[in-house]
Amino acid sequence: MTDQPSKPIIQTWLGHIRALSVDIGPRGSTTKGERQGAIYCLSAFQRIGLKPVLDTFFSARSIFHPHLISSLVMLAAFILYPSSGPVMAGSAALFTILILVSEMLELGFRDNLLRRIVPKGQSQNVFAVIPPSGEHRQDLVLIGHIDSQRTPFIFRSPGMVKVYQDFTTYAFILFIAQAVLYTLGTFFRWGWVWYATIPTAICALLLALICIEADLSPFTRGANDNASAVGLVLTLAEQLAGVPLQHTRVYCVCTGCEEVNHYGAADFFKRHRDEMVDPQALVFELVGCAGPGWLTQEGIVIPFHSDPELVRLVEELSAQHPQWGAYPVQIKGGNSELVDCIGAHVPAITLFGLKRDGEAPYWHQKADTFDKMNPAVMENTHTLTWAMIQRIDRGQ
């Protein structure tokens, strides 16, 4: 740890991170560790006098399963296409199109065929609600996810992450090309089509191997990703329970299964969005080592953007307080639970602790451990967050 915390509030925050990443440890989606993390959050809410709710749901177990299935089906279509006649060619084209559509929907966090067939397990969200001290005019949702990801080879270094992101983009383009070529080839019987899709088959094979290796790798302890965010939610909950906002009801939400395309956040909003009044959301990701950063854009192929008014607010606050060292960031090849807020029509912004060059510290790596926490960064992040919450309560 780089420095000793100067404020009791940061000591409290660090205590939550230690409990999750050291005492509990790895918290893979739908695993016993994730369940223990949820129980810890439940107890933490209870200790400060709140009445938390635990919602269970079923989720995919791995973010890599859908892509493994897709790559294997693309390989099967490649093998099937040249087999005797237009019926087989048409079947290969149909399989390719179904997988392509399903992948597009998966990247857009929507229901699809792949979600129906991947293995499932039980997970849970934990949240507590803090009513305002005065007239209730609006709601604010604070979100951080409990689960931690595996540590695949593709995340060993920032360079490897960049190679993987470029590879997946290239593979996706080739998958589109295969769908188009096989569809046209079914009708026109062009003999060269199958040979033209050999690069697609190679990419599909490589993607399958990447997914298999990823699912065999161990889970990270997830101190920065994302015990730091859960710890901040719990810390803010304690502050707000002691001194409630004037006009804003606050949902403090610790989600499960963010690492498998956000099943937890999606379930939370599906259950509770209708009970909210004019909501906004602050999402927290990797807030223990770098930053404070605010996210302007994220996405894998499909881009998503933070709410312009919340971006304006954080820009104004950071300009007024340059000592916080806050800055805008973007992430390519990944998503935060911002996307789930957008899907639920909740204006939101993610405070994302990326470095200024876009690197995510210790992202899905074995080195994501408690000793990497930076109290100075955490203090700035907390101060910025608290200022945003107060401004939101006053109507910005």
Mean pLDDT of all residues in 222-244? 97
346 vs 358, which has greater pLDDT?
346
134 vs 333, which has greater pLDDT?
134
Mean pLDDT of all residues in 250-261? 97
Reported in sequence order, the residue ranges of the chain that DSSP labels E, i.e. its strands, are 53-60, 120-130, 138-145, 248-255, 279-285, 293-300, 302-305, 327-330, 348-352
Among 49-63, 91-105, 280-294, name the one with the lowest average pLDDT.
91-105
Contact (CB, 8 A) for 342 and 306: no
Task: Give tens-digit pLDDT for 122-138.
Answer: 999 999 999 999 999 99
- The predicted pLDDT at position 6 comes to 56
- The predicted pLDDT at position 300 comes to 78
Mean pLDDT of all residues in 346-359? 96
Among 12-16, 43-47, 106-110, 222-226, name the one with the lowest average pLDDT.
106-110
Tell me, rounded to whole angstroms, the distance of Cα 89 from its chain centroid: 38
pLDDT at residue 333 tops 80:
no
Contact (CB, 8 A) for 106 and 175: no
pLDDT at residue 2 tops 60:
no
Q: Is 162 exposed, middle or buried (0-12, 13-18, 19+ CB in 10 A)?
A: middle
Assign 238 a pLDDT band (cuts: 50, 70, 90). Answer: very high
Mean pLDDT of all residues in 79-102? 90
Which residues, including other chains, have CB under 8 Å from residue 6's CB and lie 6 or more apart?
375, 379
When the pLDDT of each residue in the chain is averaged and rounded to a whole number, the result is 95
Contact (CB, 8 A) for 188 and 181: no
Neighbour tally for 260: CB within 10 Å: 26
pLDDT at residue 159 tops 60:
yes
pLDDT at residue 396 tops 80:
no
Contact (CB, 8 A) for 137 and 278: yes
Tell me, rounded to whole angstroms, the distance of Cα 284 from its chain centroid: 10
- The predicted pLDDT at position 83 comes to 80
Neighbour tally for 248: CB within 10 Å: 27
pLDDT at residue 347 tops 60:
yes
The model's pTM is 0.94
- The predicted pLDDT at position 112 comes to 94
Phi/psi for 169 (5° steps) reads -65, -45
Contact (CB, 8 A) for 334 and 297: no
Mean pLDDT of all residues in 31-47? 98
**Pairing between strand 302-305 and 279-285?**
unpaired
Q: What is the DSSP letter of 255?
A: E
Phi/psi for 138 (5° steps) reads -160, 170
Q: What is the DSSP letter of 288?
A: T
Which residue in this structure is represented by tokens 């996210």?
295
Which domains does the chain show, CATH number per domain? 8-59+123-151+219-393 (3.40.630.10), 65-116+155-216 (no CATH)
Which residues, including other chains, have CB under 8 Å from residue 386's CB and lie 6 or more apart?
236, 239
Phi/psi for 144 (5° steps) reads -145, 145
pLDDT at residue 1 tops 80:
no
pLDDT at residue 340 tops 80:
yes
Mean pLDDT of all residues in 72-85? 90
Tell me, rounded to whole angstroms, the distance of Cα 314 from its chain centroid: 21
